Structure 1
Amino acid sequence: ATEAAAARAEAKRAADAARAAQLAQQTKLSAHEAELNAGFEDTVQHLEQDLKESHDENAALKTRIEKLNSQITDLHDEADVLRPAAERAERAEAAAAKLQEAAAEARDLKALLNAEEAGRAEAVESLLVAEREAQKVPGLQKQLESYKKGKTELELKVREAEAEAAAARARADALEAEKGAADAAARVYRKEGQCLRAELEEAAAAALAEGAGGGGGGLGG
């Protein structure tokens, strides 16, 4: 009877230990699941916020690009009416200076767009990592499916934002090309102005010489 009681006590201790171990494992798993769930939701919220900020920044960039394009159009209109060569040279130099500023701003825009693209790529990678972690916990599978749908929509928005950024970069490159053309035109105008000044100086010198010669003949009579 004593041995049977001891055996029952031992069996009870073993069962209690097993239940305690199972409870500890379940608690650990629940904590890990809650941590993954919180991290996943936080990642999605950050990605959505980043995407909103990216759209806002792209809208601002579009406005600045449109303003630069308007300035380029105004400069072209101004260049068309430059007369004569000396005046064209002076105004072309001013236009080139403005285009220099526009090109510098365009380079800044390109750098900003590149940084935004890098940030979006990093955010998508974070989402993929969180997704892989979530797959390790069976309890998150159903929630993961809804997140996958949201991720697909988010990736579509990211691709749209990247397309807008590429278009903005193309416009920025066009501004730099316009600046190069304006610089070349300014050099031509400066050369024409120098030639015109040289011709005017020669004509003035010839007129002075002719006037001096005529005055000398009158004194001799």
Structure 2
Amino acid sequence: YTEPVYGLGILPGSDEGGIYTLNAARSFQTFVREVDNLMVFDNDAWRKTGESVQGGYEEINEEIVRRFGILFGAGEIQQGQEVAESVLMISEESTTLSGGGVSTVGYAEEEVEERSSGGLLSRLRDDGDDDELDSAHTTNRITSLVRKAALGRLTLPCEIEGAERALLVLAGPPEYLNRKGIERGRKWLEEQTGSM
């Protein structure tokens, strides 16, 4: 193939039955070998105590779509949408994921108050409040989110210190994605994983 092939492996819950666990164990190594990267989601790590797989099915699927949707939608820009200050290059993504092996994905989000453009008059009376968005506050928000994503709930629980590679993807309104915050988040991730 000239295009990378990524796989998504869903590990069965321990209560789903031995045949599912055996099938997953038998096919795991083959799956890893046949794809450029296997992203894994562990059902047991995501279910609430006492919840059946069926009971948590909708929430688990939403989490899979959210995390992998952002990962594979990185760098895509819709018509009329502003471009963020730091855009993920698709080559970064494929370089990180195409090294083979197994990946886990972290995720964190934070509500931001989107400002309306306010029209021409408000732009003419601009009193410089936008500079506050590029302040230490915005930088700290970004680095905090990076930490939450890396140290929080991963699709496949693991210690990040053992990672061979890491990829940082940030999504949001461009005015909240300042270069300093992204670089600090990236540096922290590099230090924690010893990669990038």
TM-score by length of 1: 0.23
**Higher relative contact order (CA closer than 8 Å, sequence separation 6+):** 1
Mark the structure with the bigger radius of gyration.
Answer: 1
Question: As a proportion of its length, which structure holds more strand?
Answer: 2
TM-score for both structures, normalised by structure 2: 0.26
- Higher normalized helix content (fraction of residues): 1
